[in-house]
Amino acid sequence: DVMSVGVHHLWKDAACAKLNPQPGEVIIDCAGGTGDIARRLAKLARAAKARRGGKDAEIRIIDYNQAMIEAGIQKGSEPEITWSVGDAMNLAIADNSVDAYIISFGIRNVADVQVALNEAKRVLKPGGRFFCLEFSHPTTGLVESSYEFYAFNIIPFMGQMIANDRDSYQYLVESIKRFPDQETFRGMMDKAGFRRTGYTNFTGGVCALHYGWA
């Protein structure tokens, strides 16, 4: 909240609105952490159900970190949400069984991003929707220079002052710098077999929502 001045809430709202969850759908929230995205999706799916009728959506949070899952459960859950520990590169999910898949600020931390994209494609039904919300690369020189100064000088300092953890926030900014730019990541999605791929830049490319169809 502090480091993005709360803007990450707007990015997440936009991503969930684009996914547009519907009653009865099975949706994977991969690297779902404590359920920030899943709770938004549950609320949207519930509203769609109130308008149209039908069954509850099923939103499956999968995260590699058991402690994150436990922290999310302690915050409370929603009837549409289930929680499990799992690996984005090796999902315990049947082929062609999922309506939508979203990964939010998580794919950057996967050991092999291409393998994770391949897995997302594998579990999605034909026509299923893929969304990836992730920090990305600014699209103009002015934004890039300002953001780079902020990222490498201010964020680690704030991590030390607020969370007493400079190293984690230093890793954060370095991992963002290493992550593929928008077009390169789109090409990786194409390689995984997604169709009609594209992306929307937020805040001048500081964050991007990539999307495609299985």
Return the pLDDT at 161.
75
Q: What is the pLDDT of residue 39?
A: 97
| Model pLDDT, residue 121 | 98
Please, what is the angle between helix 166-178 and helix 155-163, to 10°?
A: 150
Q: What is the pLDDT of residue 149?
A: 65
- The predicted structure's pLDDT at residue 159: 72
* Cβ neighbour number for residue 187 with a 10 Å cutoff: 13
Instruction: State the CB neighbour count (10 A cutoff) for residue 212.
Output: 24
Specify the pLDDT at position 3: 67
pLDDT of residue 155: 66
pLDDT of the residue at 165: 80
Q: Is residue 102 within 8 Å of 13, Cβ to Cβ?
A: no
User: Cα(10)–Cα(63) distance, rounded to whole angstroms?
Assistant: 23
**The dihedral formed by the CA atoms of 170, 172, 177 and 179, expressed in degrees to the nearest 10:** 150
Predicted structure pTM score: 0.90
Residues of the chain predicted below pLDDT 50: none
SS3 category, 4:
coil
